[in-house]
Amino acid sequence: MQFSAKVFEASKQRTACAIIPVDAKNRFTASGTALDEACGGAISTLLKRKDLDSKLGATQLLPMTEGPAERVLLVRSGEGVLSQADFRKLAGASAKAVKGYKDAVSYLTELEVSDADSTWQAQQLTLAAGLAGYKFTRCLSDAKPYPLAKFHVQVPERKLLNAVKKGVEIGAAQASGSNLARELGNLPGNICTPTYLVGQAKEMAKQHPKITTSVVDAKKMASLGMGAFLSVAKGSDEPPALIAMQYKGGKAGQKPVVLVGKGITFDTGGISLKPGQAMDEMKFDMCGAASVFGVMAALAELQPAINVVCLVAAAENMPSGGASKPGDIVTSMSGKTIEILNTDAEGRLVLCDALTYAAKFKPEVVIDVATLTGACVIALGNPASGLYANQDELASQLIAAGERSGDRAWRMPLWDEYQPMLDSNFADMQNIGGREAGSVTAACFLSRFAEDYTWAHLDIAGSAWYSGGNKGATGRPVPLLIEYLLNK
Ligand code: BES
Ligand code: MN
Ligand code: ZN
């Protein structure tokens, strides 16, 4: 999809669909008024029939026979200055309504939003349009993607041109990064294997001169002492991989941000086998990895002057004669020993070795992203990712990035009181902490491998995909991470 920002003259601008806000008192903004005049008052005549619901975010599509727009989408914008959350509703509702047309011009930037500039408005509109334009078609025999090819954002005043352009650029990169993450997430486990992700990472390096890719394979993992990582892959016929993609946009000496993604391409639970109900959704257990791929793609698009390393801890968790068993004890790369009491707590086992490996890049900060615990889904549901951090400043920056992008996170505790729940009678620690505070004890486990640097962990088990009728990957937390990286 192509995105652009321009000063449009609504009375003349030809488009398949013009998106026009209408406030609680049926008033237009400047462009709405101009467009209404250009079609002989047809829009206000139709509005008087009261078909446009009064609820904020309600939409009504008007097919036009007069004027430069083939269709007009009316969007109810409520009263006075909008909150950011309300503007996001309008962005989402209008994006959904226009995805079936070949292009659209959004005049919603003529609205006023509290504590938000036109860069933010343009970014939100573009992100919403980009996300609405995605559909998983790869495995359909008769694929019909959405037709929306061009999405234009109105620049309300000429002096705002650069500000709006910047917002469009960021929103477009966030959308394409999220959509890559969604595509990888939605791919089934028989296609998207660890080896497939390796191919994807190599392709990334081939396409972009600022990206290089290297791979730690099983043999190298063994020589590095990654006993925890290898214990997860042992039961599978698919070889594991620890992938490193490096984006070098900054100076050579500049410390990188290291992102680490959980890439379990299918999680059966292993010998601690999961129940059959909804087990298909465990193809999404690589959504953390998918999100770091999305971030890489966005960086390649935006080319910011920073250094970022993305690590992908890829493996498949299967039961077999070669699989790890409850009670097995393994030695991680850090030297710490782990008693595996539940083979379904596998994410932390691949991540702990990836976190130890991350130190090799002399990171400024390390952020891991993982569909780590069902307990996080129970605690926060879909709206928020669970955020843990060993430094308050990093936590605040990530929360702020989530608020600004609309891809929100909520901080959870990493208190010492939780740590003893991981005590083992037979090893340095066990890989589960019991039923209570399951998301917290998983984070506590990871924290033991991130003591040497500033670190945060995003548990995206609830936010990374939708279940039910809308089943599919969301691409989160790509927008949050991009927002964070651009503010560095
Ligand atoms: N990938 C799952 C977490 C998960 C479960 C995410 C359901 C989304 C929905 C993870 O590997 C896992 O199985 N975690 C266990 C940990 C437990 C054994 C301590 C869980 O959450 O049940
Ligand atoms: Mn599991
Ligand atoms: Zn898992």
Binding-site residues from annotation for Mn(2+): 262, 267, 285, 344, 346
Looking at ligand 1, which atom is closest to the CA of residue 281?
9
- State residue 8's pLDDT score: 98
Domains of the chain, with CATH numbers? Answer: 2-156 (3.40.220.10), 180-487 (3.40.630.10)
- State residue 313's pLDDT score: 99
Task: Check pocket membership of 183 for ligand 1, CB cut-off 6 A.
Answer: no
User: Structure tokens of 311?
Assistant: 């690590």
Q: How far apart are CA 127 and CA 146, in angstroms?
A: 16
- State residue 445's pLDDT score: 99
How many alpha carbons fall within 13 Å on the CB side of residue 142? 0
C-alpha R_g of the chain: 24
Q: What is the DSSP letter of 235?
A: T
Burial 142-157 (b: 16+ CB within 10 A, else e): eeeebebebbbbbbbe
Task: Check pocket membership of 285 for ligand 1, CB cut-off 6 A.
Answer: yes
Burial of 486 (0-12, 13-18, 19+ CB in 10 A): middle
- State residue 33's pLDDT score: 98
Q: Kindly report the protein residue whose alpha carbon is nearest to atom 3 of ligand 1.
A: 373
- State residue 234's pLDDT score: 98
Of 202, 133, 117, 132, the residue nearest 165 (C-alpha): 117
- State residue 448's pLDDT score: 99
Q: Mapping DSSP to helix (H, G, I), strand (E, B) and coil, where does residue 376 land?
A: helix
- State residue 435's pLDDT score: 96
Task: Check pocket membership of 459 for ligand 1, CB cut-off 6 A.
Answer: no
- State residue 38's pLDDT score: 97
User: Residue 345 C-alpha to ligand 3 middle, in angstroms?
Assistant: 7
Q: Kindly report the protein residue whose alpha carbon is nearest to atom 5 of ligand 1.
A: 374
Q: Kindly report the protein residue whose alpha carbon is nearest to atom 9 of ligand 1.
A: 374
pLDDT tens digit at each of 488 positions of the chain: 999 999 999 999 999 999 999 999 999 999 999 999 999 999 999 999 999 999 999 999 999 999 999 999 999 999 999 999 999 999 999 999 999 999 999 999 999 999 999 999 999 999 999 999 999 999 999 999 999 999 999 999 999 999 999 999 999 999 999 999 999 999 999 999 999 999 999 999 999 999 999 999 999 999 999 999 999 999 999 999 999 999 999 999 999 999 999 999 999 999 999 999 999 999 999 999 999 999 999 999 999 999 999 999 999 999 999 999 999 999 999 999 999 999 999 999 999 999 999 999 999 999 999 999 999 999 999 999 999 999 999 999 999 999 999 999 999 999 999 999 999 999 999 999 999 999 999 999 999 999 999 999 999 999 999 999 999 999 999 999 999 999 99
- State residue 91's pLDDT score: 98
- State residue 436's pLDDT score: 98
Looking at ligand 1, which atom is closest to the CA of residue 269?
13
Identify each DSSP E strand in 192-345 by its residue range: 211-216, 241-248, 257-267, 307-317, 328-331, 337-340
Catalytic positions: 274, 348
Q: Kindly report the protein residue whose alpha carbon is nearest to atom 22 of ligand 1.
A: 374
Of 464, 468, 484, 482, the residue nearest 182 (C-alpha): 464
User: Residue 127 C-alpha to ligand 1 middle, in angstroms?
Assistant: 30
Q: How far apart are CA 5 and CA 122, in angstroms?
A: 8
This prediction has a pTM of 0.98
Cβ < 5 A residues, ion ligand 2:
267, 344, 346
Task: Check pocket membership of 288 for ligand 1, CB cut-off 6 A.
Answer: no
- State residue 140's pLDDT score: 98
User: Residue 345 C-alpha to ligand 2 middle, in angstroms?
Assistant: 5
- State residue 107's pLDDT score: 98
Q: How far apart are CA 251 and CA 196, in angstroms?
A: 31
